[in-house]
Amino acid sequence: MIGVVDELAGFTGDLITRGDERYDGARRVWNAAVDRYPALIARARCTADAVAVIQFARERDLPLSVRGGGHSAAGFAVADDAVMLDLSAMKEAVVDPAERTVLAAPGLRWDELDAASQAHGLAVTGGVVGSTGIAGLTLGGGIGWLDRLAGLTCDNLLSAEVVTADGQVLHADSAEHPDLFWALRGGGGNFGVVTSFRYRLHPVTGAHFAIVGCAFDRAADVLRAYAAFSQQAPDQLTLYASLTTAPQAPFIPESLRGQRVAVLLMAYFGTADEAQRVLAPLRAMLPCPAVDMTVPMPYQQVQQVSDAIPGNGLHHYYTAEWLSDLDDRAIEGLVTVAMAAAELSPRSVISIKRMGGAVAQVPADGTAFWYRNAAHNLDIHAQWVPGEDPASHLAWARRVREVAGHASAGGGYVNFIGADQGGQRVRSAYGGNYGRLAEVKAAYDPGNFFRINHNIEPAHTFQRSGPPGAG
């Protein structure tokens, strides 16, 4: 890296190398289990900076990682001996309230984009943790509190500015480079570096947030109620079931804090009377819950509910599965493995989200996001403190996925797949769209320069290695 400043002539951002006092802080990401040492960190300020870094890395045959919010569960933002293209300083958000759109830079986090759009009473489906970066979430699909009402984040992407592996800056939308635009909506970071996103916004000011739950000895009852109630849930209702340790949050009774619980978390986007009417059948299924609360809540606060659960500084491992059903066999298995977590991994969470609504109204091949008809997303999130042996936590997470495997709709959510889950597991995450994605990859990145991700092999490589399975 000697002379890197001269070799990156024209780069207006900030360069950080080993030995710089800022290096350790700059290489750290949200997932503390990721402890990697890049050769160079290049903090870009604009698209031209991104072009310069990509050309620099490619000319020297150096691997490149891309950091937006740094919240990738798999830790793809940073890699050993690679160039890290850090976009976190690119923060601009320009809202057009008349057109109901926002032009957003890739370094924004969801709490920042929400603040900009909510100033006008508007929103787009975003991540349920405020510190999640907009870029990674969008490119992997984007599920969240608004998806049943407004669609996935990627469904609301209207256009993107993309820097390709050969340094071209392309505008991609339904008219220009439509194949690339199709692939960006669910295909991950395989096709280039997106330096701006233009989203459609929706009128959203608030919701009625509800939490209904029980002590863990009634976990099976809670999941059965979730499974039955979710069948009749209107599109205005977002519904999560969670097997977790109750946080030290004001909406949790003191007697339950720190204890294993089974809770349903819901947001109804409608009036108070409608919310009570919609939730009445659920309450009838779970008489005498340990916690039962429904309150009006600004949308920004709904978006930050999960922020009450500590995560920074912990080690994390994700895996996931799309489910076609949540039957008694799956419920019993999930409760059993969740009970094991009480001793083994008390910070770990099993979360199940009702899908459908606007998500299912888009054809499976309408974007790169394939699993439109899945009934539920099973999100398995192992968390542990530094110093603990990760092996038992990883084994627990994989076991959770196995006990619900018979109900799998095929694959798992791209944004919730661990870095160790490659090969067939990654291919199945893209489902029946993998072949077309491989063709787009071959067209825009034939040398697989962008490979530090849930990688899609270019079509020529993919064809040699055989076709993927969708499940």
d(CA 51, CA 74): 25
Structure tokens at 147: 């998806």
174 falls in which pLDDT band (50, 70, 90)?
very high
Return the bridge partners of 194, or none. 162
d(CA 307, CA 297): 15
Tens-digit pLDDT profile for residues 126-168: 999 889 999 999 999 999 999 999 999 999 999 999 999 999 9
What pLDDT does 3 receive?
A: 54
466 falls in which pLDDT band (50, 70, 90)?
very low
What pLDDT does 345 receive?
A: 78
What pLDDT does 469 receive?
A: 38
For the segment 280-304, the average pLDDT, to the nearest whole number, is 94
For the segment 322-345, the average pLDDT, to the nearest whole number, is 92
Q: Using H for helix, E for strand and C for coil, what is the string for the chain? A: CCCHHHHCCCCCCEEEECCCCCHHHHHCCCCCCCCCCCCEEEECCCHHHHHHHHHHHHHCCCCEEEECCCCCCCCCCCCCCCEEEECCCCCCEEEECCCCEEEECCCCEHHHHHHHHHCCCEECCCCCCCCCEHHHHHHHCCCCCCHHHHCCCHHHEEEEEEECCCCCEEEECCCCCHHHHHHHCCCCCCCCEEEEEEEECEECCEEEEEEEEEEHHHHHHHHHHHHHHHCCCCCCEEEEEEEEECCCCCCCCCCCCCCEEEEEEEEECCCHHHHHHHHHHHHHHCCCCCEEEEEEEEHHHHHCHHHHCCCCCCEEEEEEEEECCCCHHHHHHHHHHHHHHHHHCCCCEEEEEECCHHHHHCCCCCCCCCCCCCCEEEEEEEEECCCCCHHHHHHHHHHHHHHCHHHECCCCCHHHCCCCCCCHHHHHHCHHHHHHHHHHHHHHCCCCCCCCCCCCCCHHHHHHHCCCCCC
Cα–Cα distances in angstroms (integers) from residue 147 to residues 41, 126, 142, 144, in the given order: 35, 9, 8, 6
- Quick check: 45 pLDDT over 80? yes
From the candidate CATH numbers 2.60.120.470, 3.40.50.720, 3.40.1380.10, 3.30.465.10, the one assigned to the domain spanning 93-203:
3.30.465.10
What pLDDT does 423 receive?
A: 84
- Quick check: 340 pLDDT over 60? yes
Residue type, 54: I
What pLDDT does 271 receive?
A: 96
- Quick check: 187 pLDDT over 60? yes
Please tell me the total number of residues recorded for the chain in this structure: 471
Name which residue leads in pLDDT, 125 or 339: 125
467 falls in which pLDDT band (50, 70, 90)?
very low
Tens-digit pLDDT profile for residues 347-371: 899 999 999 999 999 999 999 999 9
**Percentage of residues in the chain with pLDDT exceeding 90?**
84
Backbone φ and ψ for 282, nearest 5 degrees, come out as -65, -45
What pLDDT does 261 receive?
A: 93
What pLDDT does 308 receive?
A: 66
Per the prediction, the chain carries an average pLDDT of 93
What pLDDT does 421 receive?
A: 82
| Residue (of 335, 88, 375) closest to 214 by Cα position | 335
- What is the DSSP pairing of strand 291-298 with strand 237-245? unpaired
- What is the DSSP pairing of strand 193-200 with strand 157-163? antiparallel
- Quick check: 2 pLDDT over 60? no
Tens-digit pLDDT profile for residues 92-119: 999 999 999 999 999 999 999 999 999 9
Listed by start position, the domains of the chain span 4-86, 93-203, 206-416, 424-465
What pLDDT does 317 receive?
A: 95
CB of 351 closer than 8 Å to CB of 320? no
Return the bridge partners of 322, or none. 377
465 falls in which pLDDT band (50, 70, 90)?
very low
| Residue (of 117, 124, 130) closest to 157 by Cα position | 124
- Quick check: 442 pLDDT over 70? yes
253 falls in which pLDDT band (50, 70, 90)?
confident
What pLDDT does 5 receive?
A: 59
What pLDDT does 180 receive?
A: 98
d(CA 79, CA 171): 28
For the segment 24-46, the average pLDDT, to the nearest whole number, is 97
Residue 288 buriedness (CB in 10 A; 0-12 / 13-18 / 19+): exposed
What pLDDT does 444 receive?
A: 98
Q: CATH number of the domain at 206-416, please?
A: 3.40.462.20
From the candidate CATH numbers 3.30.230.10, 3.30.43.10, 3.40.50.880, 2.60.40.10, the one assigned to the domain spanning 4-86:
3.30.43.10
d(CA 147, CA 240): 12
d(CA 86, CA 90): 9
Tens-digit pLDDT profile for residues 446-455: 999 999 999 9
- Quick check: 82 pLDDT over 60? yes
For the segment 403-423, the average pLDDT, to the nearest whole number, is 91
Tens-digit pLDDT profile for residues 370-389: 999 999 999 999 999 999 99
Q: What's the pTM? A: 0.95
Residues 6 or more apart whose Cβ sits within 8 Å of residue 136? 68, 69, 71, 72, 189, 415
Tens-digit pLDDT profile for residues 202-227: 999 999 999 999 999 999 999 999 99
